[in-house]
Structure 1
Amino acid sequence: MTAPTLGLVTIGQAPRTDLSDDLRAFLGGLRTVQHGALDEDDFTGAAAERTRAELAPADGEAPLVSRLRDGSSVVLGHEALAPRMRAAVARCERDGATATLLLCTGNFPPVPATRPLLHAEPLVQHGVRAMAGTDPVGIVCPLPAQRADVRRRWSRLLPGHVLAEAADPYAPDAAEQVAGAARRLTGAGARRLVLDCIGYTEAHRAAAACAVPVLLARALAVRLAAEAACASRPTAP
């Protein structure tokens, strides 16, 4: 009988050491395997600028941002990521994943998989919808250029008013940025906050602490995906 294993696919590079402490709390000992869409891309020396240009968003694409192994961040486009995501999912399944989670709250086209494949965005969005009801919700996203797209996508799902502010989870002053975004959103009437990027940590949730509940995307997505990995465990004949 195969042990339940959750595959984790980041749109950046694995391992995501910034996830490690939170994962231990979320997973309760569940085995994981990690692969990144950019694991085989070269961000060193003279190749770095060329690689970043190849991965940049196409005209009209909403940008994505993720973390590299060295702790820096990179801005990405969905089109450039698509084939890399497919390869990373296949590597997770090769390594025994009974279910795989795409660690990004962006909106991706279908990715081929032979076992359950979960997208963080719907897990997070529908979890928030179940808890928020008609309350105004404030969304914190990484980049100012994402605000309009983020607000539009959340507004299609939530019945209440949606506001959005930016705070870069990979910046040296990330905690201060998150705290500032939380103040602006609650000042504008938000009754709940969502830190809507896998890059936001429990420390960022603490930085955003205010008089309203703060929901963390990585916590919602990983906890629900862990249930799927356990439920997908093959049974003995």
Structure 2
Amino acid sequence: MKRKQGFKMHKLGMITIGQAPRSDVAPIIERALEGRAELVQAGALDGLSLDYIQHHLSPSPGEYVLTSRLTTGESVVISREKIQPLLQDKITRLEEQGIRTILLLCTGVFPGLHTRSAFLIEPDHVLPPVLKAMSSGRRLGLIGPLEEQKNNLKLKFSPYGLNPEFAAASPYSGSEEEFLRAAGQFKNQADLIVLDCMGYTETHRELAAHYSGVPVVLSNALIGKLVSEMV
């Protein structure tokens, strides 16, 4: 379809808890957008060195553990409590640029994030009810990045009556063998597998589906399809 002269393309803000641009995940979201919106990326850790991140933003005992990717390709383990102010600052800055829809590129839980009036899409609010409807009483398997995240990742599903089995394999630092081992834990143990991190790719989905023999949901692709209806 030919655009009318003077047509102004919508913008979708996408904020990673790591560093932008996310060359690994952005193509998945852009495919879902089908050219209807320009993707504007920002990262909570933009401009910060690996040394600074490791010394100032690593989790202390009892803090909510997250992991993400830097533009160098390195992975980092970070504290939600320590990065949330940085994340909120990026949200505010995107909204100040006039961006009306902002996607958080993380499936973790972030209480208190807000905008003035823009739509803020937080995957942890979207995925559990959608997966509840999709699984319909079937056995659910969950692959997340780190073993330390097991309880937090499972807890967000419990209000929806879901009690998924968990296996850990990082999309950033894990090997293909580790990922296949995680997927293999669900052979004959799950009817549906969820890749519960926005850093997994289509390659991870295909590997998990092939090795487990059951359908696999790629969280970022599912969220991308839903968000594409808002731009």
Question: What is residue 228 of structure 2 aligned with on the other side?
Answer: 226
Q: What secondary structure is seen at the aligned counterpart in 1 of 2:90?
A: helix
- What value does the CA root-mean-square deviation take over the aligned residues? 1.7
- Deviation of 1:51 (Å): 2.8
1:11-33, Cα deviation, whole Å (9 max, x unpaired): 00000011133223221112110
* Matching residue's letter, 1:149: N
Q: What secondary structure is seen at the aligned counterpart in 2 of 1:17?
A: coil
1:152-193, Cα deviation, whole Å (9 max, x unpaired): 32233234x4200000100251x3322221110234x21100
Answer yes or no: is the 8 Å Cα contact 2:28–2:224 preserved in 1. no
In 1, distance between residues paired with 2:56 and 2:62?
Answer: 16
Relative to structure 1, the CA distance from residue 64 to residue 139 in structure 2 (aligned partners, 3 Å threshold; closer, same or farther) is same
Instruction: Trace 1:27-42 onto structure 2 (pairs within 5 A).
Output: 27-29=33-35, 30-42=37-49
* Matching residue's letter, 1:153: K
In 1, distance between residues paired with 2:111 and 2:98?
Answer: 23
Q: Which deviates further from its counterpart, 15-24 or 28-37?
A: 15-24
Question: What is residue 183 of structure 2 aligned with on the other side?
Answer: 182
- Deviation of 1:59 (Å): 2.0
TM value normalised by structure 1: 0.87
- Deviation of 1:202 (Å): 0.6
- Deviation of 1:123 (Å): 1.6
In 1, distance between residues paired with 2:109 and 2:74?
Answer: 23
155, 158, 161: which one aligns with 1:158: 161
Answer yes or no: is the 8 Å Cα contact 1:8–1:102 preserved in 2. yes
Relative to structure 1, the CA distance from residue 88 to residue 196 in structure 2 (aligned partners, 3 Å threshold; closer, same or farther) is same
In 2, distance between residues paired with 1:213 and 1:93?
Answer: 37
Q: What secondary structure is seen at the aligned counterpart in 2 of 1:101?
A: strand
Instruction: Trace 1:100-111 onto structure 2 (pairs within 5 A).
Output: 100-111=102-113
Answer yes or no: is the 8 Å Cα contact 1:35–1:91 preserved in 2. no
Answer yes or no: is the 8 Å Cα contact 2:11–2:39 preserved in 1. yes
In 2, distance between residues paired with 1:205 and 1:25?
Answer: 16
For these two proteins, the number of residue pairs brought into alignment is 221
- Deviation of 1:127 (Å): 1.7
* Matching residue's letter, 1:226: S
The share of aligned pairs that are identical, in percent, is: 36
Q: What secondary structure is seen at the aligned counterpart in 1 of 2:67?
A: strand
Q: What secondary structure is seen at the aligned counterpart in 2 of 1:83?
A: helix
- Deviation of 1:86 (Å): 1.0
Instruction: Trace 1:1-237 onto structure 2 (pairs within 5 A).
Output: 3-29=9-35, 30-43=37-50, 48=51, 50-114=52-116, 115-159=118-162, 161-171=163-173, 173=175, 175-187=176-188, 189-209=189-209, 210-228=212-230, 230=231
* Matching residue's letter, 1:107: V
In 1, distance between residues paired with 2:132 and 2:159?
Answer: 11
In 2, distance between residues paired with 1:151 and 1:225?
Answer: 24
* Matching residue's letter, 2:205: R
Relative to structure 1, the CA distance from residue 20 to residue 112 in structure 2 (aligned partners, 3 Å threshold; closer, same or farther) is closer
In 1, distance between residues paired with 2:70 and 2:62?
Answer: 24
- Deviation of 1:2 (Å): 5.2
Q: What secondary structure is seen at the aligned counterpart in 1 of 2:24?
A: helix
In 2, distance between residues paired with 1:149 and 1:227?
Answer: 29
In 1, distance between residues paired with 2:124 and 2:114?
Answer: 17
Unpaired runs of at least 5, structure 1: 231-237
Question: What is residue 235 of structure 1 aligned with on the other side?
Answer: none
Q: What secondary structure is seen at the aligned counterpart in 1 of 2:72?
A: coil
- Deviation of 1:94 (Å): 3.2
- Deviation of 1:82 (Å): 1.2
In 1, distance between residues paired with 2:96 and 2:157?
Answer: 34
